[in-house]
Structure 1
Amino acid sequence: MTTKAFDKPDYIKVQNADFDMAVEYQRLRDVEVSDGAVVVFVGLVREFSQDKHIKSMFLEHYPAMTEQALQTIVQEARDKWPLGKVSVIHRIGHLDANAQIVMVGVTSQHRNAAFAAAEFIMDYLKMRAPFWKKEMTTKGDFWVEAKASDNDAAAKW
């Protein structure tokens, strides 16, 4: 499990437990009064993927690599946009369909930077963070392969 202190600008955590959006939103708001924008993205385990009905998903990771990858992605966002606080929470383990899987939250003085940074972090997280996903479906269990659309999304940055 990776954690940074609550009073620091970045909060990066990989965990089995679900997260509470009210708590995470307040964590983002408690940093800088000059930030006028808060953007939060939450990804869920979809019930359908291509032609398969997903019952659940299992996520694995390599902790040392994952921590470094997430910190690097957040720093790259900071290098591109003027950001206040950044939060990234990613769950691992067994997750049922419709469960929260990931949260990216960003604050900035202006909305354009906050929206762009949140999208950038999510796009790069999907491509560069070492998580392995296995879908348990009505047609069997399948490891999730990288998608061309994810590559295209990251390439635009």
Structure 2
Amino acid sequence: MNAQRTAHTVIDSPIGPLTLVNVDGVLCGVYMAEHRHQPNPATFGERDTAGFDEATTQLAEYFDGRRTDFTVTLAPRGTPFQMRVWDALRTIPYGETWTYGQLADALGSPAAVRAVGAANGKNPISIIVPCHRVVGSNGSLTGYAGGLDRKRFLLEREAERAGLRLGR
């Protein structure tokens, strides 16, 4: 059995440097500077740009306003419940927000709002798996692993490009 190869690269973005991590060329992490719930960077493998072309291109297109949906292959690692939450996050339309309650409802688990919030906070593939699109029950910006300033930036940029107005 061959050992898996883990590698990472760091790219620039309008919200600061992003660390991309892949295993055998499949993206499994996108982390911002000061990212909460980030694994130990020692687990990111060697720094290498190989295998990151598609993710790097799609993120650049997203930040340039030319991409609203990501198609890069992903391999997040988490519990079965976390994986369900992260899959549901990918159904939130670009430029829109859902509450944690709406996300729990979409999963068929309306009473699991806190568990959904915890899983959302541990999303390892920021931006591409759009955990930033989840807001508090009153529409307020609540916790974000990359910080509320980054969350606000992403939501405002998406809303502007989608021709929507972000509620406050």
TM above 0.5, yes or no, is no
More strand by percentage: 1
TM-score w.r.t. the length of structure 1 is 0.25
